Structure 1
Amino acid sequence: MKKWHKIALVVAGTVGAMYAMVCVDVVSRAKKAYLEGEKYWNWSDHPEQHVQFLQGQLATDKKALEEKLSKNTLSKDQYDRELQLLEFDHQQQLKESTIKYAYVWYQTAVDLFSPPDSKWVQLARQKMPLAKERWKAELRAKKIPFEDYMID
Structure 2
Amino acid sequence: MNFKNSFFKLSLKAVAVIFFINAFAIIDSNIRTFEYKERADQYASWHRNPAEKELHFEKEKLKRKKVVDKLFKAKKINKEKYDLELENNFFLKEFKIKESSAKYSYFWNKKAANTFGGPFILGKQNLSAEALSSKKTWVMELEKKKIKFKDYMVD
Q: What is the TM-score normalised by the length of structure 1?
A: 0.95
Aligned 1:1-152 pairs, distance under 5 A: 2-152=5-155
Q: Offset at 1:32?
A: 0.7
Distance in 1 separating the partners of 2:154 and 2:114: 15
Q: Offset at 1:117?
A: 4.6
Distance in 2 separating the partners of 1:60 and 1:128: 32
Amino acid paired to 2:24: M
Which has the larger displacement, 91-100 or 112-121?
112-121
**Local SS of the residue matching 2:118:** coil
- Structure 2 regions of 5+ residues with no counterpart? none
Equivalent residues of 1:41, 1:98 under 8 A apart: yes
Distance in 2 separating the partners of 1:87 and 1:73: 21
Q: Offset at 1:120?
A: 4.1
Identity %: 26
Question: Which whole-Å deviations, capped at 9, do the CAs of 1:109-130 have from their partners, x for residues lacking one?
Answer: 1113332452243332121111
Question: Which whole-Å deviations, capped at 9, do the CAs of 1:12-52 have from their partners, x for residues lacking one?
Answer: 01111111011101111111111110111111111111000
- Structure 1 regions of 5+ residues with no counterpart? none
**Local SS of the residue matching 1:119:** coil
Equivalent residues of 1:30, 1:120 under 8 A apart: no
Equivalent residues of 1:109, 1:120 under 8 A apart: no
Amino acid paired to 1:87: F
Give RMSD over aligned pairs: 1.2
Equivalent residues of 1:40, 1:98 under 8 A apart: yes
**How many corresponding residue pairs?**
152
Q: What is the TM-score normalised by the length of structure 2?
A: 0.93
Q: Which runs of 4+ in 1 moved over 6 A?
A: none
